[in-house]
Amino acid sequence: MKIAIGADHAGYRLKAELLDVIRGLGHEVEDFGAHGPESVDYPDFASKVCNQVVSGAADRGILLCGTGIGMSIAANKVPGIRCALVHDVFSAKATREHNDTNVLAMGERVIGPGLAQEVLRTWLTTEFSNGERHKNRIGKVCALEKQAELHP
């Protein structure tokens, strides 16, 4: 898979920890920044990563900030993105199996690097279940998205 990754100033250190995990699993990764502690705006990085995913240039995206909250909010404003804010292994597995998420958000100030690596591994290696009830629910989420586009 090709993975797009991005972080703001509060998530760039965790991003550096996760790049080797992605590559170690045999995936290609494109890093959209940030690369240092200078204050930046998380929506700019969420946009870059999510546009890669919806365009098909990347299969999945990873977003990191201080809490993961801002990134997940921004990501879920992009039509076609199903971003989950995850800080535990169970949720990483469930969000892939049940929600077919295509973007993962985590917060550097919330999760340590060891657990973040485990969450990432789980999320990247878990497939969507393709269960009818899950496909139906995702369809309803997509319908909400289309409804919002028609009635902003």
98, 134, 142, 151: the catalytic one is 98
Nearest to 60 by CA among 24, 104, 16: 104
d(CA 51, CA 81): 9
Would residue 98 show up in a list of annotated catalytic residues for this protein?
yes
- 65 catalytic, yes or no? yes
Q: Which of 109, 125, 51, 107 is nearest to 81 (CA)?
A: 51
| Catalytic residue from among 9, 27, 35, 65 | 65
- Of 15, 18, 59, nearest to 34 (Cα)? 15
List active site positions.
65, 98
